[in-house]
A = this chain, B = another copy of it.
Amino acid sequence: MKKIMMRLALTALTLPLFCSLVFAQAQIPKFPDAAASDPVALGWMQGFPPKAERIIRFGDASFYRFPALRWSFSNISQLFPLVPVLRGDGPVTKLPRAERQDLDAVAFTTLDGRKMNWGESLSANYTDGILVLHKGKIVYERYFGAFSPTKKHAAMSVTKSFVGTLAAILTGEGKLDPTAPVTNYVPELKNTAYGDATVRQVMDMTTSVKFSEVYSDPKAEIWDFARASGMMPAAPNYQGPRTTFDFLATLTKKDQHDEAFAYKSVDPEVLAWIMSRATGKSLAELTSERIWAKLGAEHDAFYMVDSIGAAMAGGGLNTSLRDLARFGEMLRLDGYYNGQQIVPRAVVADIRGGADKGKFAKAGYKTLPGFSYRNMWWVSHNEHGVYTARGVHGQLIWIDPKAEMVIVRYASYPIGANAFIDPTSLPAYMALAKHLIGE
């Protein structure tokens, strides 16, 4: 156990500390590139048993070390307990194909001024899988490393956009009152940061909570959360909360709510708790009933769960790539997909409309100028009306209404900060969109 804790401490301290130092210098650190870190070629978890130095072990933190995470993100079920998100028994929705050979050559300039093309961007971004839909047809689909069409990949914080969409559906139906205090649904949060917050503030992350996700700080609350939720082994003498629910009830207020966007993984956890109290259903049940079982997904999805089976609303979803594309395409089509209105048009319009750009700007995201954050989606307010779901290490849904394009990407970028991967990603998406519509 001590050994595990030491490893965790090392992981916790070194990589993110390194990142933040490098980040400050605005330089991308040197890691083995995508080909050199291919998890299958490196033999990660290959063989019976794998070589000792190539084992990624359930119950310690080795899974999250680069390059091991290049395998882990495609094999989360072997590392964590989970709850399924059922696809139901309907037929699989067809994704027609019209693959194009001209896309790899699409050129763009990275945010830091380098020339690059689409094909090159895939390895630069440590892509595990990427799929582009244009007018509903697959024009591009690639898999790398340990990922494949039949596997499920960690969506990380893309999960939050599912949670926000579900909440917006429920508010549209009147099952959830966005103006109501959080405590109307979860009285246990009365004496916490959420004691005077509204549901809407949680949905748009304008709550002000003492919750640091600065991974380089061992005292940051993210580590308390990890221990409480069971994502990280706790020390033998650990006396703190042992569930996500109990942890949420310890959070205290920072400044005033509603003044600024403040990204934090505890808000979707609170929102999921609110929804479960409002509906009597778990997040996995809601996701299946309202979204997954209606999409005609190819595969069940799943959520990683905490030590008492509560789905991790901040980052626990795992899906196949094509099914993630179906979800994105459904939203692009204003919620109508597979012969039915899955998400109300008004909900999609509400997401697309975004929120207060001034409040967002206060959070200081240098790669996302002019954005806002609504229903747990990142809204660009750009000329294509793009909105996007983003997860750490490169997970993505990119919906471009004007170009009638949806991109979904799963990745295992070495650093857990999308500011490193945005420079070779965001301009690539815009270049591809413009290429597809001849702009």
Contacts and interface: CB of A to CB of B under 8 A. Distances in A.
Contacts of A308: 45, 49-50, 55-58
Contact of A79 (B49, B75, B77, B81): B81
A309 B277 CA distance: 36
A90 to B, nearest CB: 11
A341 interface: no
Contacts of A277: 48
Contact of A309 (B58, B230, B236, B246): B58
Contacts of A236: 1-2, 236
A2 B2 CA distance: 15
A236 B1 CA distance: 6
A89 B298 contact: yes
A57 B242 CA distance: 10
A171 interface: no
B245 A78 contact: no
Given A1-B1, A59-B230, A80-B81, A45 B75 contact: no
A77 B86 contact: no
Interface in A272-293: 273, 276-277, 282
A277 B48 CA distance: 7
Interface string A85-112: 0100100100000000000000000000
Nearest to A275: B48
B81 A58 contact: yes
Interface residues of A, number: 44
A79 B246 CA distance: 19
Given A77-B84, A236-B236, A48 B310 contact: yes
A276 B236 CA distance: 37
Q: Which of A45, A83, A84, A305 has the most CB of B within 10 A?
A: A84
Nearest to A282: B48
A84 B306 CA distance: 20
Contacts of A224: none
A307 to B, nearest CB: 5
A307 B300 CA distance: 24
Given A245-B48, A276-B48, A309-B45, A78 B86 contact: no
Contact of A77 (B81, B150, B245): B81
A150 B86 contact: yes
Interface string A220-238: 0000000000100000100
Contacts of A92: 89
Contacts of A230: 58-59
Q: Which of A48, A92, A245, A302 has the most CB of B within 10 A?
A: A48
Contact of A305 (B50, B55, B58, B310): B58
Q: Which of A2, A49, A83, A298 has the most CB of B within 10 A?
A: A49
A309 B306 CA distance: 20
Contacts of A167: none
B49 A310 contact: yes
Given A49-B310, A308-B45, A309-B58, A83 B89 contact: no
A241 to B, nearest CB: 11
A243 interface: yes
Nearest to A150: B86
A302 B152 CA distance: 14
A276 B92 CA distance: 32
A282 B82 CA distance: 21
A58 B307 contact: yes
Contact of A307 (B57, B83, B89, B242): B57
Given A58-B309, A300-B300, 12 more contacts: A2-B236, A48-B276, A49-B308, A50-B308, A56-B309, A57-B242, A58-B230, A77-B81, A77-B83, A77-B84, A78-B81, A78-B305
The 5 closest A-B CB pairs, nearest first, are: A48-B276, A78-B309, A49-B245, A1-B236, A58-B81
